[in-house]
Chain A
Amino acid sequence: MAAKENKRAPGWKEMPIGGVNPEAGNAVKYNTGTWRTFKPVWFNDRCIQCYLCWINCPDVSILIKEGKVAGIDYEHCKGCGICAVVCPVKPKKAIEMVKEEK
């Protein structure tokens, strides 16, 4: 997880013009996980390690550690719910969508 950057955002003289982003892959620094209504909750004890959630996640937000599904990246997960839909585990899925509570 990238640390939150606390420094002042650049002024207009310091930025590339035209909204060009010259830094490839820097989306990891930008917290897009604030839009969710529902969040996926992953249950390790039910998970069969099929990786379907990891394959289907459009935001690369299924965390993998040492080759195994290890949880959700809540800084970038937008709560689309695809992981919970594709999870094949029965009778209770290994990923459930839960309403966000502030």
Chain B
Amino acid sequence: MSKKLLALTGNDAAAYAMKQINPDVVAAYPITPQTSLMEKFAQYVADGEIDTEVVLVESEHSAMSACVGASAAGARVMTATSSQGLALMWEVCYIAAGYRLPIVMPLVNRALSGPINIHCDHSDAMGIRDSGWVQIWSENAQEVYDNLLQAIKIAEDPEVMLPVMVNYDGFIISHAIENLFVYDDAETKSFVGEYKPKYMLLDAKKPVTFGTFDLTDYYFEHRRQMAEGMRNSKKVISRVAKEFSKICGREYGFLEGYKLDDAEVAIVALGSTVGTARAVVDELRAKGIKAGILKIRVFRPFPEEEIAASLKHLKAIAVLDRADALNAVGGPLFDEVRAAFYNKSNIPLVNYVYGLGGRDMGLDDIKRVYSEVSEVAKTGKIKDLVTYLGVRD
């Protein structure tokens, strides 16, 4: 285990991981805030540090299509996008998952138009949550780097064979410079290993067809297989995390608790907001308030049992959503966390939709959440099930 400390933006950390992975093919199209990631990666290729075939395409629809073709041909393939780019590659993302192609894609989370906005929220990833892509979320640049290295092994595992999306917050993580450890090139190379596909178009000795017409007599079975791949990914994610801990020195889980074990109230969140919430929890703890955090690292597969078990001792819970499901109820994370508790407990859960279009989520906002959820814990009564936090009345 050897590592060195670097100061990198989240995008540079992702590019560094991609450099060490050295995929056979990367097809991508620039979009804010992903652009500097692909610039950095293309620079590595142009400088001859790696030998990836970079395919410059005319749109994200073409980018994902080129990825599907290359992956079916037997290559290790990556791309990256954000927001509208993901929206444009939408139909091909479902095809990548349906063909069981282990493409890995950093998604630099950004709000969806309209009106047009380039800043962070999670509506891009949440919209595509049921496409059959594994979704891993990152709190900071270190996790972006670590998650990407692990994502390759998760995607390509014969029991999984599903594409993996590594999410991180646009600008907040992608453009902020942080200190992070990167690992030795040879060690990471041996960790990610080689991709050995079972079927590939370029194997002339074993000709196969991808993209067959799949009607009433077979399609359902193929979807059932995908469900199994997603179920299998749970044990593979754990196994890869254990293996990766030998390089990075810590073991990633589906979830990460912060001062959660003895907490009475907690928030559940994804991404960079967890980092801000840690500071608030420290402050509240100093005042004797038993506050905690549950960070969700893996959102697909959804770790339902683990979430319910981690939160079962709490008196009240606030689920934070950086996307609105626009279902006239609340956010998508809230829906699923609440469902995880159904038939298991009567702990009151409330929802906060926050930070849409990059609206800042400050310390005071999070303090307000803890104060209100503490009131719910004390009285057992929910005043507002869903709150739009930080919106002007």
Contacts and interface: CB of A to CB of B under 8 A. Distances in A.
Contacts, number: 54
A12 B225 contact: yes
A15 B223 CA distance: 12
Nearest to B222: A19
Interface in A1-48: 9-12, 15-22, 24
A17 B161 contact: yes
Contacts of B221: 10-12, 15
A18 B99 contact: yes
B225 A21 contact: no
Given A17-B222, A18-B98, A9 B209 contact: no
A22 B161 CA distance: 17
A21 B211 CA distance: 9
Interface string B208-247: 1111101001110110110011000000000000000000
B114 interface: no
B206 interface: yes
A20 B218 CA distance: 11
B101 interface: yes
A32 to B, nearest CB: 10
Given A20-B199, A22-B199, A15 B218 contact: yes
Nearest to B99: A18
Nearest to B219: A19
B207 interface: yes
Interface residues of A, number: 13
Nearest to B206: A22
B200 to A, nearest CB: 10
Contacts of A22: 199, 206, 208
B300 interface: no
B228 to A, nearest CB: 8
Contacts of A17: 100, 161, 222, 225, 229
A19 B99 contact: yes
Contacts of B99: 18-20
Contacts of A19: 98-99, 210-212, 214, 218-219, 222
Interface string A48-85: 00000000000000000000000000000000000000
Interface of B: 98-101, 161, 198-199, 206-212, 214, 217-219, 221-222, 224-225, 228-229
Interface of A: 9-12, 15-22, 24
Give 3 closest A-B pairs by Cβ, nearest first: A18-B100, A12-B221, A21-B209
